[in-house]
Amino acid sequence: MRNIAIYKATLDNEEINQIKSVLEAKNDLSKVIEFEDGISKYIGSKYSIATATSTAALHLALSSMKLKRGDKILMSVNSFVNLPETVRHFDAEPIFVDINPEDMNIDIDKFEEILVANRSKKLRAAIITFIGGLAPDLDRIYTIAKKHNILIIEDCRAALGSSYKGKKVGNLSADMTIFSTNPSPSKYAISRSGVLVTNNEELASRAKLLRNHAITTTYDSFGNLDYVYDVDDIGHKFDISELDAAYAIAQLKKTDSFIKRRQNIAKMYEENLKDVKHITILPFQEGHIYTQYIIKINRNRDAFARALKERGVSTALNYIPLHLLTYYKNKYSIKITAFPNALNNYQQILSLPIYAGLLDEEVEYVCKQVIEVAKEWI
């Protein structure tokens, strides 16, 4: 029996050589600068601020826009827990929005309805998640945001390298975009790092300041001492290490090849599973970078997942709707049925393994097990 992980890092000597170059050289932050420059060049953005994690990048984004107590931030209820968690750290309020069942991204009609219903100075921004690396209708979102005078932060933790109408996400009309250099769940990460990108000079300057305790370094009057410093604000410890930056540089160079491989795997899944009874396959989309491959099973999803695990195939959920989690359910007294599309989606979805290092024979093995389990369990 094979053992197919939900995710494995794909690496070679490039990562090893990058890390060795750090260990053999002085710690002058040159790798951090190289990584930030590489991200800006790849995306086309003016500013890139590297951070220890993508959650740190999100926290930094909210700090940069001076989020405060009682402010409100809209987000899809089908998002990872770090979104509302980070908002709550500011004593601000997340407002959840149901999803579009077709692509599992935010329902834009509901998004606009909630903006109208919550119109006030307290409504500051919306965080837009890209499920599995697929962009929603960004033109509509940008237009609505401009109309209601709110900021847009794109949650692209799983969407580095994605494009929208031929242009890289992160260089469109969002105020800030958050990326992770590791699209998998953090427990599978060899290295963790995130990055905040923006074309707004003011937001970028504030983010850079706050990233490392808001410390400003100056020099003595003779210009030969670099240990004199001051603090301008309340900052964070969100900076990235040279080792993590070195690893991220190596991975960034392979981003496009990783995307191409995942797209090929997605085509294999679609071809093999499209006619399996009780399973729904979302149609292949050229712009989709497939950091997650999500299928829908119309009943017995958990039994299905257990059977796959017994056959050596790991699976995942992306995601459990936020209103079903104990803290948010109790904090905001949200009914289970408050977001029917997200609830129905959650009861059916299952993510299959997809990563650049997954071999064709491993993909075929996964497909074979899915087909066999579908016959036995459903």
Spatial separation of the C-alpha atoms in residues 232 and 36, rounded to whole Å: 24
Strand spans (E) along the chain:
47-51, 72-76, 93-97, 123-129, 151-156, 163-164, 167-168, 176-180, 194-198, 215-218, 228-231, 279-281, 293-297, 349-352
| Greatest Cα pair distance in the chain | 79
pLDDT of 202: 98
For 165, what's the count of Cα atoms within 13 Å in the CB-facing half-sphere? 7
pLDDT of 240: 97
Yes or no: say if 195 and 53 are a contact pair by the CB < 8 Å rule: no
Chain position carrying tokens 């670099």: 226
Spatial separation of the C-alpha atoms in residues 307 and 378, rounded to whole Å: 11
Which two three-digit tokens encode residue 81? 């827990």
CATH T-level fold of 255-376 = Aspartate Aminotransferase, domain 1 (3.90.1150)
Spatial separation of the C-alpha atoms in residues 287 and 293, rounded to whole Å: 14
Yes or no: say if 193 and 248 are a contact pair by the CB < 8 Å rule: yes
For 216, what's the count of Cα atoms within 13 Å in the CB-facing half-sphere? 8
Measured N-to-C along each axis, helices 360-377 and 255-273 cross at an angle, to the nearest 10 degrees, of 40
pLDDT of 378: 60
* Helices and strands (H and E) in the chain: how many: 13, 14
Yes or no: say if 238 and 32 are a contact pair by the CB < 8 Å rule: no
SS (H, E, C) 226-266: CCEEEECCCCCECCCCHHHHHHHHHHHHCHHHHHHHHHHHH
Spatial separation of the C-alpha atoms in residues 73 and 230, rounded to whole Å: 32
13-248 and 255-376, same CATH topology: no
Angle at 213 between CA 80 and CA 208, to 5 degrees: 70
Which two three-digit tokens encode residue 136? 């929603």
Whether pTM exceeds 0.85:
yes
Per-residue pLDDT of the chain (378 residues; tens, 9 = 90+): 899 999 999 999 999 999 999 999 866 779 999 999 999 999 999 999 999 999 999 999 999 999 999 999 999 999 999 999 999 999 999 999 999 999 999 999 999 999 999 888 899 999 999 999 999 999 999 999 999 999 999 999 999 999 999 999 999 999 999 999 987 666 677 899 999 999 999 999 999 999 999 998 765 555 667 778 889 899 999 999 999 999 999 999 999 999 999 999 999 999 999 999 989 998 888 789 999 999 999 989 999 999 999 999 999 999 999 999 999 999 999 999 999 999 999 999 999 999 999 999 999 999 999 999 999 876
Domain borders along the chain are 13-248, 255-376
**Beta bridge partner(s), residue 48:** 197
CATH T-level fold of 13-248 = Aspartate Aminotransferase; domain 2 (3.40.640)
pLDDT of 309: 98
Yes or no: say if 153 and 179 are a contact pair by the CB < 8 Å rule: no
Chain position carrying tokens 């410890």: 237
Q: Which residues are CB-neighbours of 117 under 8 A, at least 6 positions away?
A: none
Which two three-digit tokens encode residue 115? 């903006």
User: Mind giving me the DSSP string for 10-52?
Assistant: ---HHHHHHHHHHHTS---SHHHHHHHHHHHHHHT-SEEEEES
- Closest listed residue to residue 112, CA positions, set 66, 153, 147, 83: 147
Question: Is residue 303 helix, strand or coil?
Answer: helix
- Closest listed residue to residue 331, CA positions, set 75, 111, 114, 95: 95
pLDDT of 71: 98
